[in-house]
Amino acid sequence: MVIMAWYIKWNGALLGKSKKFFMIDGGKYFAPETLNMEYFKDNGNQTSSPKGKLNYYDIVVNGKVNKDAAWYYSEPTEEAIKAINSDFTNYVAFGKGVDLSIYP
């Protein structure tokens, strides 16, 4: 079995390359250690969901800012962790024009 890597890109920059992720509500949440965190700026925005507390990153590449383009559960609920059978604390999801592509 071959496990494909996901390449995460925005504005010409490789934000990460990962084979380590969780599917949560149809979205991919990637392990933070597989991301190039120098592009991620915690912007202080927070929301709550039934799965826990979410925090948001702006993605900054070559002076361009993609506001709230990535987010993570800083404090997932025990129920949410049990539901996917793994601790996904700090795993990062993407939106707002961030390209997720599969490469072998």
**pLDDT above 70 as % of the chain:** 97
Q: Which of 73, 93, 72 is nearest to 23 (CA)?
A: 93
How many CB atoms are located within 10 Å of the residue 8 CB? 25
Tell me the pTM: 0.92
For residue range 49-88, what is the model confidence (pLDDT) as tens digits? 999 999 999 999 999 999 999 999 999 999 999 999 999 9
Count of structural domains within the chain: 1
CATH of the domain at 11: 2.170.150.40
Lowest mean pLDDT among 9-13, 20-24, 52-56: 20-24
Full residue range of the structural domain in which residue 79 is found: 5-103
